[in-house]
A and B are shown apart, each in its own frame.
Chain A
Amino acid sequence: MIYFDNAATSWPKPPCVAEAITHYLTEVGASPGRSGHRLAVEAARTVYGAREAVAELLHAPDPLRVVFGANATEGLNLALNGLLRPGDHAITGSMEHNSVMRPLRALERQGVEVTVVPCSGEGSLDLAALEAAIRPSTRLIALTHASNVTGAIFPVAEAGRLARRRDLLLLVDAAQTAGAYPIDVRADAIDLLAFTGHKSLYGPMGTGGLVIGDRVDAGLLAPLKRGGTGSRSEREEQPEFLPDLCESGTLNAVGLAGLAAGVRWILAQGVAHIRAHESALTAQLLAGLEAIPGVTIHGPRDAGRQTATVSFAIAGLEVSEIGLRLDEEYAIMCRVGLHCAPAAHRTMGTFPAGTVRFGLGAFSTKEQVAAALEAVAALAGKAR
């Protein structure tokens, strides 16, 4: 069995992740941040440990400005819905996932203005167009760090410098990169970074959130939800400090125990080490696909400029059939279609047909890549 769907959810996980989850469920169990007994304190310590791990990985200076939620989507919704008001203007790129596009389109109907600047499936971002799109009412630039369709890495640090120069905020969707590619929110001038636990952080689903930089005034951030936080219980108003402002209701502490273990595992391996391993496999995959007649690769075609995610098509075969046959005949699991990113596929000219996406991960091997290439060659050969 070959699991090449890591861009959707990484699997397998390092054994320490399941161990941490089991430990939490069997030995800790209690609510974090609620009661004061020893198990509740241990629960709170587990959650705080996850904040520290994420902050360390992303070079965020303050663990208390790591806000947890269910996934990157929740982090993106918090940033966009929490900061943009009618009359504000926001800029994004044309390779975005629907987790950015849909909140922005909904905000547009409420009077937020949105400009989509051209990007390419290969990872280029027209910085001149980005700057030209800035208006007096512009508050925020929202950009994906890497396309979930082609793996193309976008120049977020350049966008960050532009944002600083023009006194705007930069929101980065790091769903595809956190853990797999070096990120330094300070050096890269990232004000808000949405992350998810279940992809390249090797945690479980239901974990993720938003890193909030110190240029963001928490007083101007409206939370997505309000409720019990375990703090300021005498008041009927939401606490105004982070992380409690944005973390109402009992957190997914068992999931965060797994997330912390996943991030600690990454820190022990080293992001650079994981990146080098995945880059080598990506180069092998790209070279192999290029050599197969009838295969078209969409994206940078350069392991140095993309994540370990590769999109392609086979002439004469619908992507849905390719996905089905890879699974049934070769036990290769991947994702086909539009990957929740219609804007990206329109940008690349692959809408509505979509592509086949191989998402490699830290546990992928060169033998698996070789076997997958043989399978693609066989399918392409039969289709000719």
Chain B
Amino acid sequence: MSGGEYAVILVHSTSHAMHLEKLLGRRGIPCKMIPVPRQISSDCGVCIRIPRVHAGAARETVETAGIEIQKIVDV
């Protein structure tokens, strides 16, 4: 996580994470569900970790689908 190669997408709930995971998967963006890093949020849920190179495409997917997310953060 500290190598600077990933970004995480923070969403409002696990259901939103599952929904977004599907959409990202359809675009061929490799993603992994991970616990929300403590330094980013005190939320106890999961977030979606993606390779940082795909952050732009992920943001585009989020906007196109009209999904409300909290933020995309480099980790």
Contacts and interface: CB of A to CB of B under 8 A. Distances in A.
Interface of A: 32-37, 40-41, 44-45, 47-48, 51-52, 63-64, 229-234, 239, 241, 243-244
A288 to B, nearest CB: 48
B46 to A, nearest CB: 4
A319 B24 CA distance: 57
Contacts of A45: 18
Interface in B1-46: 12-19, 22, 33-36, 41-46
A257 B17 CA distance: 18
Interface of B: 12-19, 22, 33-36, 41-46, 68
Nearest to B18: A48
A33 B19 contact: no
B35 A48 contact: no
Given A47-B15, A233-B45, A244-B15, 12 more contacts: A35-B35, A36-B33, A41-B46, A44-B15, A48-B14, A230-B13, A231-B13, A231-B14, A232-B13, A234-B41, A234-B43, A241-B68
Contacts of B46: 36, 40-41, 44
A241 B19 CA distance: 14
Contacts of B15: 33, 44, 47-48, 51, 63-64, 243-244
Nearest to B68: A241
B42 A44 contact: no
A230 B14 contact: yes
Interface of A is mostly: loop
5 contacts: A32-B14, A36-B33, A47-B18, A48-B18, A243-B15
Nearest to A66: B15
B44 A230 contact: yes
B9 to A, nearest CB: 14
A64 B14 CA distance: 11
Contacts of A230: 13-14, 44-45
B44 to A, nearest CB: 5
A64 B44 contact: no
Contacts of B18: 44-45, 47-48
A36 B36 contact: yes
A64 to B, nearest CB: 6
B35 A64 contact: no
A45 B68 CA distance: 19
Contacts of A234: 41-43
Contacts of B19: 48, 63-64
B14 A33 contact: yes
B66 to A, nearest CB: 10
A232 B12 contact: yes
Contacts of A229: 13
Nearest to A44: B14
A63 B23 CA distance: 13
Given A44-B46, A45-B18, A48-B19, A231 B12 contact: yes
Contacts of A37: 35
A185 B53 CA distance: 40
Contact of A239 (B12, B36, B41, B44): B12
A32 B45 CA distance: 10
A40 B22 CA distance: 17
A63 B36 CA distance: 23
A241 B12 contact: yes
A214 B68 CA distance: 15
A133 B64 CA distance: 42
Given A36-B45, A63-B19, A241 B13 contact: yes
A233 B44 contact: yes
Contacts of B13: 33, 229-232, 239, 241, 243-244
The list of the 6 closest CB pairs from A to B, nearest first, reads A36-B35, A48-B18, A33-B14, A231-B13, A41-B33, A36-B46
